[in-house]
Amino acid sequence: MILTGSEIQTAFANGDIMISPFEAELVNPNSYNYRLGTSIKKWVGQKNGQNVFESIILPKDGYVLDPHIMYLGNTYETIGSDQYAMSLIGRSSLGRLGLFLQISANLGHTTSCHKWTLEIVATRPIRIYPQMKIGQVSFWENKGDLLPSTFTYANYNEPQESILIPGMERIL
């Protein structure tokens, strides 16, 4: 079951959902609007087979994304839940402008809690602003026992590029 906006507020109030900072006016009928953080990373190429990202502090008057280039951003809020699974997506108002907020990885695991990394790709040049309302997170009830998560990206609060585990030749 997906939580309604009222239920998100109730769960926030009793500690089953963490959203910080939380603003009641960002609650939707069945999701919560999250904001973009204050910096992003732009993919600028590869060096020795590794992706190289350049950090950009987003100016107040906005920053224009080049189309078809990969950027990493993060949520302004710390978001998580020990009780519910999450789906982190873009707002329809941004989707209508052709802005991807993730690359088919919407699932947030129960027990993770952090500033989420966003995988941002623009299909057309678009200006983005720090702390703009950019996406939505929804909360979903679980069925079954919870296994403790070993998902390491939950330890990161800054826009975090993919991590290759040495020797394991796989991406977390």
Partner 1 sequence: MILTGQEIIKNTKDGKIKIDPFHEGCATTNSYDLKLGTNYIRYTSEILDPKTESQFISSPIPPEGLTLDKGDFILASSEEKVGSDHFVPLIHAKSGIARLGLFIHVTADLIDIGSYGNVTFQLYATLPVTIYPGMAIAQATFWVPKGEIKLYDGKYQGSDGPQPSRIHMDKT
Binding mask 11-30 for partner 1 (x = CB under 8 A): -----------------xxx
For position 141 contacting partner 1 by CB under 8 A, the verdict is: yes
Bridge partner residues of 73 (DSSP):
118
Q: How far is the CB of 104 from partner 1 (least distance, A)?
A: 8
Cα 104 versus chain centre, distance: 12
Considering only 50, 55, 123, 149, the residue that binds partner 1 (CB under 8 A) is 123
Residues recorded for the chain:
172
Exactly one of 54, 77, 119, 141 is catalytic; which is it? Answer: 119
The DSSP code for 135 is: E
Which CB sits closer to partner 1, 28 or 39? 28
HSE-CB at 164 with a 13 A cutoff on CA atoms is 8
CA distances from 3 to 24, 93, 100, 137 (A): 15, 21, 24, 11
Q: Which residues bind partner 1 (CB under 8 A)?
A: 1-8, 10, 28-31, 62, 64, 67-68, 87, 89-102, 106, 123-129, 132-133, 135-136, 138, 141
